[in-house]
Structure 1
Amino acid sequence: MLKIIDKYILKRYLGTFIVMLLMFIPIGIVIDVSEKVNRMIENKVPFNKIASYYLDFTIYFANLLFPIFLFLSVIWFTSKLANNTEIIAILSSGISFTRFLRPYILGATIVSVFALVMSIFLVPRASAGYKNFRYTYLMGGGQNQMRDNTDVFRQISKDEYIFVTSFNEVSKMAFNFSMEKFDNDKLKYKLIANRIKWNEKQKNYTLYNYTKRKVGEFGDIIETGESKDTIFNFDLEDLTPVIYIAETLPLHDLHKFIDKEKSRGSSNINVYLVVLYKKYSIPVSAFILTIIAVSVSSMKRRGGMGTNLAIGIVLAFAFVFLDKIFGVLGEKSTAPPLLAVWTPNIVFGILAIYLLRNAKR
């Protein structure tokens, strides 16, 4: 049963974290609106679409940045406790530093469980809405950059490959489609089309302005047409850009998708594994950052809260830097994705143990 001091600290822990989110997320929304309002007006985006986008924006970035908000909020209110000599009074009453940490760990558990549930159920849907809105309505000056990052090249079987230059999740349509089939490194046929559209009701695809070339021993057979309905042995998600397909899948679907990509020998498998492992590593980072924040800010310093916040900001940026660097290494290099994703937590976990020992002294 929680004691009064535990309830007091836990209330401050959760309350300050929520206030921190409520302070910074509106700032992020205002900055985003100021950058994109011209394109929204030009494209005549409906208000309900904008409202839905910023709801997804809030969920997406709250999940992405919650460890940093949590870290800074713990430093903030713990520094206030230290400056008011409340921590000295608590420890002088016979409570050990380890016992003093109990409500912090409980608070980190609550936040981590909530973050894990969000990353499994809410964040994939919010990520899809956020990225689809940007692609559909915010083309403008960012169209070329978006299309540069949305090329899709996939091996769908042992000897079949598909390619599209861009994909629109809303209309279920991909552009500049091509499909090639090989036999012992020899091209058997190639199909190209200006557009390919998925038909939800019919469960098939429609090709527009297509050309199919079948390579023969004595001559090629060429078929052309304005449109054609057909069935392929690949899924709609295979046309979705690598940059966000994994982020938009719920946990169960993500596991199935990764298994399918492994069986195909996909070259992008590390990208998907990084997304999967981060669903678990980010909630765990809440415990590590909480211990570091308490260890750093529980001591009353000459510079007051300013010194603690400065140390906290430096450590927060260091964590973000390591997370981004090792995330890219996990996606692009030969480093194991699991090790790359968990390296920031391992490094800061060691730092947390060191700082905790010094704080106890």
Structure 2
Amino acid sequence: MKLIDKYILKRYLVTFSVMLLLFIPIGIVIDVSEKVNRMIERKAPFNEIVVYYGDFIIYFANLLFPIFLFLSVIWFTSKLANNTEIIAILSSGISFQRFLRPFLMGATIVCIFALLMGFFLVPKASKGFLDFRNTYLRGNSYKTMETQDIFRQIGDGEYIYISNYNFLSKTGFNFTYEKFKGNKLIEKVTSNRIKYDEKTKKYSLFNYLKRTVGQNNDVLESSDKKVVKFSFEPDELTPVFYIAETMTIGELYTFINKEKEKGNTRINAYLVVLYKKYSLPVSAFILTIIAVAVSSMKRRGGMGVNLAIGIVIAFTFIFFDKVFGTIAENSDFSPLLAVWIPNMVFGTLAFYLLRNAKR
């Protein structure tokens, strides 16, 4: 590694680290000022608050690292351009591709670090961060939402359906249980309402009707109320919406495979989380190339113009990422395509800007 590579790589990593260290404390101060009243009202323990802000640092550093990386590269590359250091480097016979090499080396280091963080450390931080917010800052309002049209496979040849389910009351409506042997239906249970009892770990079925299919005649059993024990827990019906964010990469793959077998209708939301673990680190390369291409030219307006352009591009990237992720979560749009569209669009932009920068 030549001296120029060490110089640029050091500036790349140091500026990125300083950017994180500067902005994260600001985020903590803003968060404390907004939420301190709720913490006091709900008597959040001090040790849990400390752990919460430890998780807060990891969670938001991972969430916003593309913006921090992009702005830090623009910042120090603009300084190189304003000090005519880039002109001196290129005038010495070094090509623009060669000048770009230490930037890509830095992007590789950040990409690997972000990938490992996303696989193992961020899920644990996300769990602590989101659990604390829902316990002390939001309350249990997220559990009151009703989920519709739940289909699940709960065992070998056993399937259930619930038209509406409420987290808080643990009550479902229009419940159906079907048991198959091969492709043949052998048992079917229907109920207008089903309610889970946490003490007995059993379900109460109201307007209960059971049909056992026989070779010649079917056997019918009915009751106004029937207490039954099933092999599934209420939380398995509708896992909390952020559960995928709290799992390591191995746990997430296992969870998604199980939810696919159960016929979970929210499977796209979990796939978006999975694919983002790979796409977000790759964005480090794309945003680095764009940042260098935008800020390597000395402009009349100075560093401020480059930063303004950088902020617009960075927030446009985040906007694309959020919009297409939300579309995939709430429709049949391919989660894989939705997650990678921002990288494809901005990858094309990076190629175009790099081509012009060489000229």
Instruction: Answer yes or no: is 1:192 the counterpart of 2:194.
Output: yes
Partner of 2:8: 9
Structure 2 distance, partners of 1:331, 1:237, is: 19
Structure 2 distance, partners of 1:28, 1:195, is: 42
Q: 1:58 to 1:149 in 2, by over 3 A?
A: farther
Conservation of the 8 A alpha-carbon contact between 2:289 and 2:354: yes
Partner of 1:176: 170
Conservation of the 8 A alpha-carbon contact between 1:175 and 1:195: no
Partner of 1:165: 166
In the alignment of these two chains, the number of paired residues is 336
Question: How far is 1:127 from its partner?
Answer: 1.0
| Structure with greater Cα Rg | 2
SS of residue matched to 1:212: strand
Structure 2 distance, partners of 1:332, 1:79, is: 41
Partner of 1:215: 209
Structure 2 distance, partners of 1:139, 1:73, is: 34
The Cα offsets for residues 224-265 of structure 1, whole Å up to 9 and x where unpaired, read as 6xxx9x662458555422x20111111111111111122222
Conservation of the 8 A alpha-carbon contact between 1:152 and 1:240: no
Q: Which amino acid aligns with 2:151?
A: Q
Aligned equivalent of 1:353, options 348, 351, 354: 351
Structure 2 distance, partners of 1:43, 1:265, is: 38
Which segments of 5 or more consecutive residues in structure 2 lack a partner in the other structure? 179-184, 211-219
Structure 1 distance, partners of 2:56, 2:236, is: 22
Q: 1:111 to 1:238 in 2, by over 3 A?
A: farther
SS of residue matched to 1:335: coil
Question: How far is 1:156 from its partner?
Answer: 2.2
Partner of 2:73: 74
Q: Which amino acid aligns with 1:73?
A: S
Aligned equivalent of 2:320, options 319, 322, 328: 322
Partner of 2:257: 259
Structure 2 distance, partners of 1:178, 1:149, is: 12
Partner of 1:129: 128
SS of residue matched to 1:156: strand
Question: How far is 1:336 from its partner?
Answer: 1.1
Partner of 1:201: none
Q: 1:219 to 1:237 in 2, by over 3 A?
A: closer
Structure 2 distance, partners of 1:36, 1:195, is: 35
RMSD: 2.5
The Cα offsets for residues 311-356 of structure 1, whole Å up to 9 and x where unpaired, read as 0011011101111111112112222111111000000000000000
Aligned equivalent of 1:155, options 151, 156, 163: 151
Question: How far is 1:82 from its partner?
Answer: 0.3
SS of residue matched to 2:320: helix
Partner of 1:54: 53
Q: Which amino acid aligns with 1:82?
A: A
Structure 1 distance, partners of 2:16, 2:166, is: 42
Which segments of 5 or more consecutive residues in structure 1 lack a partner in the other structure? 167-173, 198-204
Question: How far is 1:90 from its partner?
Answer: 0.7
Structure 2 distance, partners of 1:237, 1:190, is: 20
Q: What TM-score comes out, normalization by structure 1 length?
A: 0.86
4+ residue segments displaced more than 6 Å: none
Q: Which amino acid aligns with 1:212?
A: L
Conservation of the 8 A alpha-carbon contact between 2:272 and 2:339: yes
Percent identical pairs in the alignment equals: 60
Conservation of the 8 A alpha-carbon contact between 2:197 and 2:204: no
Conservation of the 8 A alpha-carbon contact between 1:297 and 1:308: yes
